[in-house]
Amino acid sequence: AQSVTQPDIHITVSEGASLELRCNYSYGATPYLFWYVQSPGQGLQLLLKYFSGDTLVQGIKGFEAEFKRSQSSFNLRKPSVHWSDAAEYFCAVGAVETNAGKSTFGDGTTLTVKP
């Protein structure tokens, strides 16, 4: 069964500092991996996704993530955090098989940005 672990429930960083949010997954083959952001009262917005190829993926809002198969990780990074990045972040994994529709989300990491 596929699973996703986001080890950090809550992270606080200062504005302008770098950010790394951790995500570890469990899946039997090469997975689809996604990062989403959710602002209060809003739906989820896709930040970036990994299907195959280059293991460093660029997303929107200056975010990037690196797929490391050996560590079963897909950590999200941003070099300089802005106050508007304060939100909840979700990592998710999906099946690669053509007919697979199941998806699994982590429990989320809440990001607080200090001025």
Partner 1 sequence: EAQVTQNPRYLITVTGKKLTVTCSQNMNHEYMSWYRQDPGLGLRQIYYSMNVEVTDKGDVPEGYKVSRKEKRNFPLILESPSPNQTSLYFCASSPRGAGNPPLHFGNGTRLTVT
Q: Which spans of this chain sit near partner 1 (rule: CB under 8 A)?
A: 4, 9, 32, 34, 36, 42-46, 49, 51, 90, 92-96, 99-108
Tokens coding 8: 């950090």
CB of 54 to partner 1, least distance (A): 16
> Euclidean distance between the first and final Cα of the chain, in Å?
41
Residues 6+ apart with CB under 8 A from 42: none
Task: Give the single-character DSSP code of 51.
Answer: -
CB of 17 to partner 1, least distance (A): 26
Residue closer to partner 1 (CB basis): 55 or 103: 103
Residue closer to partner 1 (CB basis): 6 or 113: 6
Residue closer to partner 1 (CB basis): 46 or 56: 46
Give, in degrees to the nearest 5, the angle at Cα 21 between 58 and 71: 85
